[in-house]
Every structure is written in C-alpha cells, then in structure tokens.
A = this chain, B = another copy of it.
Amino acid sequence: MKAVTVGIDIGGTSTKFGVVDREGNVLTQGSISSKTHDDSFDAFFDDMSAAIRQALSEIGPAHLLGIGVGAANGNYYHGTIEHAINLPWKGIIPLADMVKKEFDVPCIVTNDANAAAVGEMVFGAAKGMKDFIVITLGTGLGSGIVCNGHLVNGKHGIAGEVGHTSVNPAGRYCNCGKRGCLETYVSATGIKRTVYKLLADHLEDSVLREISYESLDTKMITDAALKGDVVAKACFDYSGRILGMKLAETAVHTDPEAIFLFGGLSLAGDLIFKPTIYHMEENIMPIFKGKIKILPSGLQNQAASILGASSLVWDFLEKKSAVAN
C-alpha cells in the first residue's frame, strides 16, 4: 500500500489540499472555500475533512502518514492558527488537535513561508542542503530559515520575519504597524508602491501612467519592463537594490548555501535576480563574497503550497526516524 501525506494550504478565500507521495507527486488535489455562512471554524473544518476523505478515497488503497498545514500565523509549537488577520476565524484555533482527533495521524502546522522552506528541502532545489533561506515574494515578503538541516522556528514559533527588517525607519507604512519594513519595498505590493513613487518623481513617459493603483499588478510591470519601459525597468532595479542590500545582512546571520526566491516577483527572472545579486555582492561582508547563491525556487509553477504543507510531515517523520535509529 503506498504511503502518502496530505498537504493543506489554508488561505483567506480558499483552502487548497492535495495527497502527495514521497517523490512529490500530487496524486489528487482540490480546493474548498475558506468562508462558511457564519465564519464558523467548525463548519469549515467539517467541509475540509469531508473533502480530504473524498480525495483519499479517489487514489485507492493508501497509508496516510500525516497531515501538514501551511497557514498565515500557523504556530508550529502549539499546532494552532493564532489571531490571523487575513483568515475568517478569530482567536486561537487548535487545528493540529482537531486533525489528529479526526484522522488519527500526526498533524504539523506552520506558517506558509516556513512550509515553503521545508518544501524546498524535501521536494525542491534545496534537496541535500543543510543551510538555506527561502524568501516568498507575494502580497508581503515571507521567509523560512533552515540551519543545520532544521527549520528555525525560534523560541516563540515566529522566526523568519525578514520582511520586517528595516530599510528606512521613516519610510513606507507597513501593515505590521511599523514604517520602512523590507516588504513595503520588495513584494507584489512593494513594487506597485515603487511604480507610483517613480511616476511621481520622474517625467519619463510610461505605459504604467495609464493604470490605476488598484488595477496594477506585478505581471503588468514585468511586461512593461520587458518591452523597455524606462520606469518599469527602474522599478525592478530599485526593488533588487533594496532586496540585495538587505539579503547581504540576512546572509551574515546564518551563512546559508543559497537564498531561494519564490513567488510572483521572482518570476520576473533576470529583471529582479540581476540587481539583487549585484547589490548583495556589493554590500556583503567581504569574507562572504561569491559564497551565497541567489536562486529561483525549485517549486515554481507547481502545486507549491500543497507540496510545502505535505513536506512538513515527510520531514517530521524522517527526523523522528533518524533519531530512533
């Protein structure tokens, strides 16, 4: 009977899940709405459990080893989702306990960027690496740090907030309550803010002058830059300069073999990688020069969040087995 795990990515609007084998094949996948009529977590949990049982029944006889969950504000130590502002449910949700009771298998919960880092190690481009960092460039900037082959969760389970290191203490307002955080400059939202700053400061013509802030997205900026739009190109240079300068600081903390960029902004390829690499190398402590690779995630364009969540279980079971043997 084949061994499988389930990976669940709980988002604010929808929740994706899939059944995954050890080679990273997603045997079946689906999604349900995260919103029930009364925003009751119990109702959502019943929907999710039914959908997972259905998915498991579709793949034929299999041995379910565990369930991994990536969710905003997922706490690894407590197995909970805690006060997630972007999810429909208030307070502290004892998710791992509920899953264990329902399915009688181990359940590992963590935040989405941490799940992405473990996914990179188990299924992606960090296979075999012991020390690396994944930077997720979505609406915000998340990160997962792996040292000595283990995800760094920290004392309170909130490690890896590279997106909230400081670019400028008097800079852009951030959702976290501070000003000038890295994610206000480098993320899908950050680069939009940069477009508007550069359009305000400069006189150059740009196709981006035709687009409202609400309509603008990373792909439009990427397409404009690829067509030679001066402002769009300058936006990537600006973002890459700031990201490179800050990664030069992040890298000297844990001395990673590689830093992987994942998500929307990273799909712009050279437009973002070239200035990021250049400015990291320019700004890093000399003994680190030429040592830290900046690479694209190996899970791009796949069911990355399902793989990341499912990898939490594979990683957990393999480390447990390594200690036992």
Contact = CB atoms under 8 A, between A and B. Distances in A.
Given A152-B147, A176-B286, A283-B178, A253 B169 contact: no
A237 interface: no
Interface residues of A, number: 43
A154 B147 contact: yes
Interface string A115-152: 00000000000000111000000000000010110101
A254 B255 contact: no
Contacts of A248: 166
Contact of A154 (B131, B155, B156): B131
A148 B177 CA distance: 29
Tell me if A's interface is mostly helix, strand, loop or mixed.
loop
This chain's copy number in the assembly: 2
Contact of A165 (B176, B178, B252, B257): B252
A288 interface: yes
A189 to B, nearest CB: 17
Interface of A: 129-131, 145, 147-148, 150, 152-162, 164-166, 169, 176-178, 181, 245, 248-250, 252-257, 283, 285-288, 291, 323
